[in-house]
Structure 1
Amino acid sequence: MSTLQNTTSSSIIFLLTGVPGLEVFHTWISIPFCFLYVTALSGNSLILFAITTQPNLHEPMYYFLSMLSTTDLGLSVSTLVTMLGIFWFNAREIGFNACLSQMFFIQLFTVMESSVLLAMVFDRFVAISNPLRYASVLTDLKIAQIGTVIITRGTLILTPMVMLLKRLSYCRSHVLQHSYCFHPDVMKLSCTDTRINSAVGLAALITTAGVDSIFIILSYIFIIKTLLSIASPKERKKAFSTCISHIGAVAVFYIPLISLSFVHRFGKRAPPYVHTLIANAYLLIPPLMNPIIYSVKTKQIRKAVLKVLHCSTTKN
């Protein structure tokens, strides 16, 4: 019985993992990761600043984009300290409560990103199907209410999932598989029944990203149906072009998420570093790519970003 110690108290220490098998190269591996973090943080901060300071961007579409940039910043900051700490200082230890806090915020910002992507496709649907009522439907108050619902939804769904981990006993190895706290990893270290935790975790995934993805697909079906009813090919192409950036954002969010789910479920024989790289890509690719996609594909954002950069270089 001595081996079955209940270590769910705040004194428990988990050990995070960098890239298995490549520990001697962690310093070199940190260079591209550091570059990705700097690019993601600066890109999203720049878009937020541009939307805040440019009056012509005070429209529903760009308010939702600012929400997306905010969630991407939160997602990056949630893993920045532990990931670079491992690569630079081999700082692998993380306390139980700190681990749960990091897990909660990673999951919260992931759910918020999924919700914002759903809100953005609703924005595009209203703009294309009923442009005359666009301003009256998506008022500033309505957008603020949507933002509040997004945060509240994520908090209410994820709090039970994270708090239920406190009831478990951890008597096995305390080594986690990733460089951040991931819900399935922590569950695997428990020596008690985790069926309730698994069910709640699956329910949280289905009711957030699962439901959101279905509504996003349905929304695009209605958007395409509306576009096909537009007689002019030029107008049809112009209307669809406003969706290109959003489609790119959906792709860079859901493809890594689905890949990570498949690897965890079916990639048992894959090398450990494959799991690690996909898990890191799942958190790094959306914050990195979204500013690039919207800067390249959205003329107004591109002009605003260039204007901000020009003003900052002029002042210097």
Structure 2
Amino acid sequence: MAILTGKARLAGVIGWPVSHSRSPRLHGYWLDRYGIDGAYLPLPVRPEDFATAVRGLAAAGFAGANVTIPHKEAAFALCDTIDESASGAGAVNTLRFEDGRVIGSNTDGTGFLANLRQHAIDPSEGPALILGAGGSARAVASALRQRDINICLCNRSRDRAETLAAMLPSCTVIDWEARHLAVADHALIVNTTSLGMTGNPPLDLDLSRAGTDTAVADIVYVPLETPLITAARAHGLKTAPGLGMLLHQAVPGFAAWFGVTPEVDEALYRYVAADLLIP
């Protein structure tokens, strides 16, 4: 383990609660692997204290921070500058502090695309069917639309899907009940809902109509293999489980804060996955 000095670079993850976050384990692995003089801390911050805490971290010399539930929209509003990724997603999950300014980005979309590539899935073969209409759906949809991939949104509440579709060009919306039939018309199917997460019911989706080249991605990573991913594999489809997205979305922040672009490899996957298997 690296020894901290007075020159240590500091970052962390801000959430409420934050004890569930695997980000400290993930970034801690990279800090040790690359022998970096630095630390990455869990930072539990109540919503009403968020703005004060962020400015305090910047004043205390932190290099930046990740932002998780429920602060992503608050971070978007707080930032002095946001990049295109955050603008498209309407939320911020990564902060950098430079000369007293708070700079925000959203790495969920790039993390999602990197996870597809690692599983030999080419999203350009779209169109894509996205299940869900929350913040993660917007980040994924924005990343796909920036690559001119047509998108169909399907959410249990159609109104939320309509609202999201209005923010992005070339997006259509279908009713939740139509999702089974829609499978046949899409080359990429993405679950951005919490269905299938441990403690929640599984996503009910009939994959029998899927073409042989259809790919299925899930952003849920607890459990490591969701019922959707299990079903997709049973149908012989390409799959991208959610843990890879978590790992890849962390790369840009680590590189900005600690000056090293870390590698997402099998050893990292096993290290983080081992923690997820602990009850």
TM-score range, shorter chain: under 0.3
Larger RCO (CA within 8 A; separation ≥ 6): 1
Q: Which has the higher helix share?
A: 1
What is the TM-score with the length of structure 1 in the denominator?
Answer: 0.26
Q: Which has the higher strand share?
A: 2
What is the TM-score with the length of structure 2 in the denominator?
Answer: 0.28
Q: Which structure would you say has the larger Rg?
A: 1
